[in-house]
Structure 1
Amino acid sequence: MKDTQTKKLALLVGCNYANTPNELHGCINDVLAMRQVLINRFGFDPNHINLLTDAPGSLVMPTGANIKDALDHMVDQAEPGDVLYFHYSGHGTRVPSIKPPHTFRRLDEAIVPCDFNLITDLDFRNIVNRVPKGATFTILSDSCHSGGLIDKEKEQIGPSSLKNSNFTPTPTSIPIITKSKTIPFESILLHLSSLTHINTPDLATHFLELFGDTASLRFRFPSHEIDSIPSLHEDNGILLSGCQANETSADMNPNGGNGKAYGAFSNAIEIVLKENQGDLSNKEVVLRARNVLKIQGFVQHPCLYCSDDNANSLFLK
């Protein structure tokens, strides 16, 4: 007999990029903390939580291919009514989406796995399109330029729907080392070029040379095929982003590097959930996280992208 109980499945990815010029400090802490929240607050079975980090000794590293394999596996298991959750803490970036000689070069959002095999907004759109009707797939991305990380998803809270206040951060007496969770695409191009030894500014050439079929759809498909990938009218994707597409998210290293490091957005979400024990809608979670970051003096504005119904549905319920 088929088990009709709702499944709750999660993939948590933390990339610290240790001992590289792009090193962060709080990303692994973020997903370890969220793992406990999922178990204690939302009733996730620990056996249904997949944790990928680039900590020394990790058996499965959070490469682009491994993250996408884990996401595909999670979606393949999903049935109507299931709750899927992906939490990413690490670097983000924006890349030009259309090659020359086109004059218009839109910037597309992406996360940066430990091997630089980018996962772009189009990849997340493709994954969301596969989620069964009646299930939900929530993405929480604590990374720079994370607004709009699901291509063509409807904005509920963001630059077009809320005006940003002219807020001046309050100076703090606690020594805090802050680093933006972004890698400019020029730096990604330089890194990839050093591996391929191909002299071209075209990112797609380098990604296809290094990663082949595991490269992002952005780099594998012609532009006319990319444009034909639809967004569903009422899809099941819910994106909580750490900032707007043109902003950066902060990685915090308190007490001069001697305290417990964390991502500002992940930490704000934890504070919101701790201070509000009752159910919260996705919209309430994002608005309250915005307020926490504002009070703390951060200049980043979390956003929400999803359907109208999912904006008012309960977070991870």
Structure 2
Amino acid sequence: MEAGKKQMFATLVGCNYAGTPHELRGCINDVLAMRDTLVARFGFAPADITVLTDDDRRGVLPTGANIKRALADMVARAAPGDALFFHYSGHGTLVPHRRAHGHDARQDDEAIVPCDFNLITDVDFRQLVDRMPQGATFTMVSDSCHSGGLIDQEKEQIGPAVADGTTTSATSATRAVRARFLPYAAVVGHLSGASGVDASHHVADHLLALFGADASAKFHHQQRHHDSASSPDGGILLSGCQTDETSADVAADDEAADGGKACGAFSSAVQAVLAAHPAPLSNREVVSRARELLRDQGFEQHPCLYCSDANADAPFLCQQQHKEPAAIPAL
């Protein structure tokens, strides 16, 4: 590598859960479209992009352990100033605290649901960002339900407490949609059949029994806490919705003007925003424009932005100028 040259690495994960009661349709399409965009617009080298999908085409499934391993490999390769990117399309869920009584969203933590249901939580993403080299960035796009706040303790820039002026549309989405959400009870019910632990137990008991050390750091006593008084970090989260909302998985429509492929509403909105604005856009602009587009399309979800003040107005994926398209090899 040329001395001083910034490197860019990406991990893209799409889980459709085919053949299960929780099947989605657009998640793999989302990450394949993002892969093309990373190469053509942002200059990522194809060899530096890891794609994990649950369609078995490459043999490496997006299990919890495989996703965390791919993310850890990116961090291990990163140097100060590098740009790391993670796109996740799939189900999300909320995990109650062990001591929570009743259902109170303020007592719940956000998590994504890999294909083996080995949850990856906001604590895992916090710890990953804390391991980043100084000056490097970790940009995460999560097109999943309850994805607001998926990097624990990251500063809210656009979200429930800091709105950007958009309002909910009175229209409705024109294509069939399904929420990318698995209720907590469904997650526990699925895991209990394999773990042998009674379904009345907290999800942590099931995950520790099934996955041991590969279970989320949230469920291990030695988890490390972020010092909020420390200098701003390189974590940047663009979430498909607020913590208390669901993200839409949009069915295919052969009559749609855009070709009608199944997709995530947020992922599709990000692609549309980038296509309409070839010049660099800030992270704040990408989220604000995606919010406007989803509102105009009738989706009742509000993308959010969590990052430091400086990163809110920094270019999305550190884009400084238009990149010449690179050749994209077939998968």
Give the TM-score normalised by the residue count of structure 2. Answer: 0.89
Match of 2:299 in 1: 298
Asked whether the equivalents of residues 9 and 83 of structure 1 are also in contact (C-alpha less than 8 Å), the reply is yes
Aligned identity (percent) is 54
Once the two structures are overlaid, the 10-residue window that deviates more, 103-112 or 194-203, is: 103-112
Deviation at 1:103, TM superposition (A): 11
Query: Aligned to 2:169, which of 167, 170, 176?
Result: 167
Match of 2:227 in 1: 230
**1:169, 1:299 within 8 Å by CA — same for their partners in 2?**
no
What does residue 157 of structure 1 align with? 158
Please give the secondary structure, in 1, of the residue aligned with 2:253.
Answer: helix
DSSP-derived class of the 1:254 partner: coil
Aligned residue for 2:85, secondary structure, equals strand
Letter in 1 for 2:196: H
Once residues 51 and 220 of structure 1 are traced to their aligned partners in structure 2, the CA distance between those partners, rounded to angstroms, is 28
Equivalent residues of 2:127, 2:224 under 8 A apart: no
| Cα offsets for 1:37-91 (capped at 9, x unmatched) | 0001000000100100001333100000000000000001000110100000000
- Answering whether residue 47 of structure 2 is matched by residue 13 of structure 1, we say no
Please state how far the C-alpha of 1:197 moved relative to its aligned partner: 1.8
Give the counterpart letter for 2:91 in structure 1.
H
Q: What is the match of residue 219 of structure 2? A: 219
Letter in 1 for 2:181: T
**Alignment match, 1:277:** 278
Deviation at 1:226, TM superposition (A): 4.7
Are residues 103 and 19 of structure 1, via their aligned partners in 2, closer, same or farther at CA, if it must alter by over 3 Å? Answer: closer
Tell me by how many angstroms 1:196 deviates: 1.5
Q: Is the Cα contact below 8 Å between 1:153 and 1:306 reproduced in 2?
A: yes
Q: CA deviation at 1:229?
A: 4.0
1:98–1:106 CA contact under 8 A, matched in 2: no
1:266 match: 267
Q: Which residue of 1 aligns with 2:239?
A: 241
Q: Which residue in the other structure is 2:197 paired with?
A: 198
Partners of 1:171 and 1:271 in 2: CA distance? 16
Alignment of 1:54-133 (within 5 A): 54-99=54-99, 106-133=107-134
8 Å Cα contact 2:254/2:261 also seen in 1: no
> In the TM superposition, what are the counterparts of 1:33-52 in structure 2 within 5 Å?
33-52=33-52
Note closer, same or farther for the CA distance 1:169–1:48 as it changes in structure 2 (3 Å cut). Answer: same
Secondary structure in 1 matching 2:176: strand
The structural deviation recorded for 1:204 is 1.2
- Residue matched to 1:179: 178
Q: Measured at CA, do residues 101 and 170 of structure 1 come closer, stay the same or move farther in structure 2, by a change above 3 Å?
A: closer
The aligned amino acid for 1:106 is Q
How well do the aligned residues superpose, as a CA RMSD in angstroms?
A: 2.1
Letter in 2 for 1:169: T
Query: How many residues are paired up?
Result: 311
Shift of residue 171, structure 1, vs aligned partner: 5.9
CA distance in 2 between partners of 1:310 and 1:57 (Å):
36
Alpha-carbon distance in 2 for matches of 1:97, 1:256 = 44
Distance 2:176 2:173 in 1: 13
Query: In structure 2, how many angstroms separate the alpha carbons of the residues matched to 1:282 and 1:171?
Result: 25
23-32 vs 162-171, which deviates more? Answer: 162-171
Any gaps of 5 or more consecutive residues in structure 2? 319-331
Counterpart secondary structure, 1:140: strand
Q: Contact between 1:65 and 1:214, CA under 8 Å: does it hold in 2? A: yes
Which moved further from structure 2: 258-267 or 61-70?
258-267
TM superposition shift of 1:108: 0.1
Contact persistence 2:156–2:306 (CA under 8 A): yes
Go from structure 1 to structure 2 and tell me whether the alpha carbon gap of 1:305 and 1:45 turns closer, same or farther (over 3 Å shift): same
Letter in 1 for 2:167: S
In structure 1, C-alpha distance between the alignment counterparts of 2:148 and 2:132, rounded to whole Å = 21
Cα deviation for residue 19 of structure 1 reads 0.4
1:158, 1:304 within 8 Å by CA — same for their partners in 2?
A: yes
Residue aligning to 1:22: 22
Evaluate the alpha carbon distance shift between residue 262 and residue 98 of structure 1 in structure 2; reply closer, same or farther with a 3 A threshold: same
The amino acid across from 2:278 in the alignment is: Q
